């Protein structure tokens, strides 16, 4: 047997062994090890190829060709195996990474809720919208003309004192009530007028039942022949919707510069009627057993005159007005007696009022 024949046999053996190893590899990593073992720098086949130059010239051609063919066959087998292993590995990886889009999100976000003042504001507004009133909003920085003068406050009225009212300048204040919108509404719209005006108001007060900034809803109805019984009927309907008709309500004569006659409407103290026997020491009503919820009355003719429009002349139209504190209503409904808690934004407190 010539050297060349032996070499050709060896090449065939190496090719057979290599293709068997390629077929046996089960991962692309294993396959790479096979490639290094059979075609790498230290592998036998490439070294045989290098040895071809030492053969007798007549045998070199056949041996070189055989070795190159073997090498090409192994490279082809490697490439085919690589692509099939790679796609199998890709399929396994995709299956493992699969997302179930129907699973609930994680973590679950807590639901938000309206602040009790906002929800009470909206509830009050809804009742009056249901009774046919429109909703207006006004400015929080107001002139003393609208806040006091046009509302028939005398020049020496105590509410004007700098100890009660936040002054921006001599004739500009943070409005102390929503009532200034009465005159502004009448200036802007013709009668018949049925409006409520919710908004923020400011006073120099701070204790369990008074905040320096709080919310009111003003009401104004102006039409031909409006009487105090229209006011009473409207406010009874309001109280029934908001309190569910369980708490007692009473009307008391009172005084406001911008209404004549004026009344205050009280609701029974929830803290006492719930069976708390604190008597005079009840922190909510201080023993009164009644809580003032709103002031009201027939619009004073002087206020109609301050509008300065013929349409609002007191001999043509009459009106009723009322103003209530939204915090008061919220306090009555939630049973939480300290208004300061509402504004401190302690989530542990607010969560209980959802």
- Tell me: does residue 319 bind ligand DAH (CB under 6 A): no
Do you know the residue count of the chain?
A: 354
Cα–Cα distance measured from residue 313 to residue 132, given in angstroms and rounded to the nearest whole number? 23
Measured from the CB of residue 100, what is the shortest distance to ligand DAH in angstroms?
A: 59
Residue 292 belongs to what H/E stretch? strand 290-299
3-class SS at 343? helix
Window of 25-33, 49-57, 272-280, 319-327 that interacts with ligand DAH by CB under 6 A: 319-327
CB 53 within 8 Å of CB 71: no
Cα–Cα distance measured from residue 345 to residue 323, given in angstroms and rounded to the nearest whole number? 26
Q: Considering only residues 193-252, where is the footprint of ligand DAH by CB under 6 A?
A: 218
Of 15, 19, 120, 179, the residue at the interface with ligand DAH (CB under 6 A) is 179
Contacts with ligand DAH by CB under 6 A: the residue count is 11
Kindly tell me which of 179 and 318 has the beta carbon lying closer to ligand DAH: 179
Q: Considering only residues 18-37, where is the footprint of ligand DAH by CB under 6 A?
A: none
Q: Give residue number: closest CB to ligand DAH.
A: 323
Kindly tell me which of 255 and 335 has the beta carbon lying closer to ligand DAH: 255
- Tell me: does residue 322 bind ligand DAH (CB under 6 A): yes
For Cα atoms 163, 265, 286, give the angle at the middle one, nearest 5 degrees: 60
Cα–Cα distance measured from residue 97 to residue 86, given in angstroms and rounded to the nearest whole number? 16
Cα–Cα distance measured from residue 197 to residue 182, given in angstroms and rounded to the nearest whole number? 9
- Tell me: does residue 326 bind ligand DAH (CB under 6 A): no
Cα–Cα distance measured from residue 263 to residue 300, given in angstroms and rounded to the nearest whole number? 13
- Tell me: does residue 256 bind ligand DAH (CB under 6 A): yes
Kindly tell me which of 78 and 142 has the beta carbon lying closer to ligand DAH: 142
CB 150 within 8 Å of CB 303: yes
Cα–Cα distance measured from residue 177 to residue 171, given in angstroms and rounded to the nearest whole number? 16
Of 177, 215, 328, 333, the residue at the interface with ligand DAH (CB under 6 A) is 177
Of 138, 319, 323, 337, the residue at the interface with ligand DAH (CB under 6 A) is 323
CB 237 within 8 Å of CB 265: no
Kindly tell me which of 26 and 137 has the beta carbon lying closer to ligand DAH: 137
Measured from the CB of residue 342, what is the shortest distance to ligand DAH in angstroms?
A: 18
* Neighbouring C-alpha atoms within 13 Å toward the C-beta of 328: 20
Measured from the CB of residue 172, what is the shortest distance to ligand DAH in angstroms?
A: 18
Of 38, 45, 296, 326, the residue at the interface with ligand DAH (CB under 6 A) is 296
Encoding tokens for residue 272?
């006492």
Cα–Cα distance measured from residue 297 to residue 264, given in angstroms and rounded to the nearest whole number? 8
- Tell me: does residue 295 bind ligand DAH (CB under 6 A): yes
Q: Which residues of this protein are in contact with ligand DAH, per CB under 6 A?
A: 177, 179, 218, 256, 259, 295-297, 321-323
């Amino acid at each position: 047997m010539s050297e060349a024949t032996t070499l050709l046999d060896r090449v065939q053996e190496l090719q057979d062994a290599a293709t068997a190893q390629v077929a046996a590899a089960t991962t692309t990593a294993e396959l790479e090890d096979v490639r290094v073992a059979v075609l790498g720098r230290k592998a036998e086949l490439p070294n045989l190829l290098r040895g071809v130059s030492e053969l007798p010239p007549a045998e070199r051609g056949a041996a070189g060709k055989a070795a190159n063919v073997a090498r090409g066959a192994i490279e082809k087998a490697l490439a085919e195996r690589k692509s099939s292993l790679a796609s199998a590995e890709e399929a396994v990886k995709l299956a493992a990474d699969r997302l179930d889009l129907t699973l609930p999100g994680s973590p679950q976000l807590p639901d938000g809720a309206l602040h009790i003042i906002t929800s009470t504001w909206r509830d009050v507004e809804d009742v009056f919208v249901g009774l046919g009133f429109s909703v207006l909003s006004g400015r929080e920085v107001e002139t003393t003309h609208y806040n006091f003068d046009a509302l028939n406050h005398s020049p020496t009225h105590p509410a004007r004192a700098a100890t009660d009212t936040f002054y921006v300048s001599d004739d500009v204040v943070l409005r102390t009530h929503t009532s200034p919108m009465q005159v502004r509404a009448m200036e802007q719209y013709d009668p018949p007028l049925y409006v409520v005006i919710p908004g923020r108001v400011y006073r120099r007060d701070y204790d369990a039942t008074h905040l320096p900034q709080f919310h009111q809803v003003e009401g104004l109805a102006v039409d031909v022949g409006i009487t105090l019984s229209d006011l009473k009927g409207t406010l009874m309907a309001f109280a029934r919707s908001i309190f569910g008709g369980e708490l007692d309500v009473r009307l008391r004569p009172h005084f406001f510069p911008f209404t004549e006659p004026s009344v205050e409407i009280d609701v029974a103290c929830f803290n006492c009627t719930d069976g708390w026997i604190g008597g005079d020491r009840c922190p909510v009503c201080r023993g009164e057993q009644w809580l003032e919820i709103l002031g009201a009355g027939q619009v004073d003719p002087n206020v109609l005159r301050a509008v300065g429009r013929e349409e609002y002349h007191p001999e043509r139209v009459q009106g009723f007005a009322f103003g209530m504190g939204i915090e008061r209503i919220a306090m009555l409904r939630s049973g939480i007696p300290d208004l300061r808690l509402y504004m401190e934004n302690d989530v542990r407190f607010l969560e209980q009022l959802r």
